[in-house]
Amino acid sequence: MKSLLRWLSRSRYPYEPLIKVEISRSRLLHNLERFQKIAPNGIIAPVLKSNAYGHGLYDVARILERYRRGLPSPGRDAVHPIPFFVVDSFFEALALRNQGIRAPLLVIGYTRPETIMASSLRDVSFTVSSLDSLQAIESIEHPVRIHLKIDTGMRRQGILPQEIDAALGSLENNENLALEGLCTHFSDADDPDGSFTEGQIRVWNKAVTRFKNGFRRLKYFHASNTDGHRYSSEIDANVSRLGIGLYGLVDGSAFSPALDLKPVLSMKTVVSAVKKISRGDSVGYGRTFKADRDMTIATVPAGYYEGIDRRLSNNGSLLIGPDSEPCPIIGRVSMNITTVDASHAYKAAQGEEATLISDEPSDLNSVMNIAKACGTIPYEIAVHIPAHLKRVVMD
């Protein structure tokens, strides 16, 4: 799809995508710097998995690589260390290298042992999350850097505490398996009670002590996800991973001190048609909306294929026009079309700008509020924004 868009842009056919996803460079770096203030030693490893949480893998990586290398950013002089970028898969690591990103990468998701053993990518480390995987790569014939994941209570992935001795046995005296880091993941760090997370931290801290004694050249210890930053002072770690918080899609007031986080993403299109309908007319598939008055409706060329959640049918809103007038979604969200009540959007007209997702947290169509309307989490809304949509880096 991206190659097709590049061909169209170079061809004799004039083409401008109807939908664009705007990414704010200044807001992304603003959020990063807010978390650097509460992270251990200010060291953050940005998480770019799942197309950078829907924001655009290459675009976000380029912003952060420039920042990491100390190249000028508007209004920013100081540069804090970023040790590596976190991706989920070897595919994402390959994609970034093919796009010219040279920052060290950590593949935090599962990678087949045979892929690890065959990899020759420079400055790419792999997370090993089971004894089976660790033992499968013991015979590797070239050096590879790994981060060993410790299961401290989430029970999805990781070496259990009682398996640490076996893991140490696989790693000791193996010149090609370079243990670069140790990591874990918190399952419930946003729970105000905190008791389960504190138990995970105790298990983690004990594991860190054991590995520090056995591997003095271990470089990175990282446990915190975004919500885990609340516990930074209790965790024996020197790096924090930052995912959803980097993109401003979490409530910053839940942290101490409160963090002024800003959503990074907005998504815009144009009005494709405006028409008058009469009282009693029905709208869309299934006739789920019936007009209770004469009204003006507008359509936009975006539906659930373009990331407008179908659960917003008769339940969400868009913003239309230069005054960003809220317009309720009426009828079912279709595959490529959404219809709104534009009766109060006095400047609604074909070609007028329509905001599908707002970067203002208070707007009804912000990612956070869309998630609430759909009964889900901001992660799901963000990552379902299709990768083929054009990303535009702003400011």
**Quick one: 285 and 318 in the same domain?**
yes
**Quick one: 275 and 244 in the same domain?**
no
- Please check whether residue 38 is in contact with residue 229, taking contact to mean a CB–CB distance below 8 angstroms: yes
Q: Is 32 exposed, middle or buried (0-12, 13-18, 19+ CB in 10 A)?
A: buried
| Res 376: pLDDT | 98
Q: Which of 204, 227, 251 is the last residue of a domain?
A: 251
Higher-confidence residue of 173 and 65: namely 65
Q: Is residue 6 part of a domain?
A: no
Contacts of 268 (CB under 8 A, 6+ apart): 19, 20, 22, 353, 354, 355, 356
Q: Is residue 290 part of a domain?
A: yes
**Quick one: 32 and 132 in the same domain?**
yes
Q: What is the pLDDT of residues 108-160, one digit of tens each?
A: 999 999 999 999 899 999 999 999 999 999 999 999 999 999 999 999 999 99
| Boundaries of domain holding 157 | 25-251
Q: Is residue 82 part of a domain?
A: yes
Higher-confidence residue of 364 and 8: namely 364
Asked if pLDDT for residue 343 goes beyond 60, the answer is yes
**Quick one: 45 and 125 in the same domain?**
yes
**Quick one: 157 and 51 in the same domain?**
yes
Q: Is residue 43 part of a domain?
A: yes
What's the number of domains the chain is made of? 2
Give which of 270, 355, 278 is closest to 317, Cα–Cα.
Answer: 355
Q: Is residue 9 part of a domain?
A: no
Q: Which of 251, 280, 299 is the last residue of a domain?
A: 251
- Please check whether residue 355 is in contact with residue 367, taking contact to mean a CB–CB distance below 8 angstroms: no
Q: What is the pLDDT of residues 97-116, one digit of tens each?
A: 999 999 999 999 999 999 99
**pTM passes above 0.75:** yes
**Quick one: 240 and 297 in the same domain?**
no
Cα–Cα distance between 302 and 293 in angstroms, integer? 26
Asked if pLDDT for residue 51 goes beyond 90, the answer is yes
Asked if pLDDT for residue 78 goes beyond 70, the answer is no
pLDDT band at 42 (very low <50, low <70, confident <90, very high): confident
Q: Which helix (H) or strand (E) holds 388?
A: none
Q: Is residue 1 part of a domain?
A: no
Residues forming a β-bridge with 21: 267, 391
Check which CATH number belongs to the domain holding 84 and give it: 3.20.20.10
Asked if pLDDT for residue 346 goes beyond 90, the answer is no
Check which CATH number belongs to the domain holding 292 and give it: 2.40.37.10
**Quick one: 244 and 307 in the same domain?**
no
| Res 76: pLDDT | 57
Q: Is residue 3 part of a domain?
A: no
Tokens read off for 254: 């839940």
Contacts of 229 (CB under 8 A, 6+ apart): 35, 38, 39, 240, 242, 245, 255
Cα–Cα distance between 302 and 211 in angstroms, integer? 52
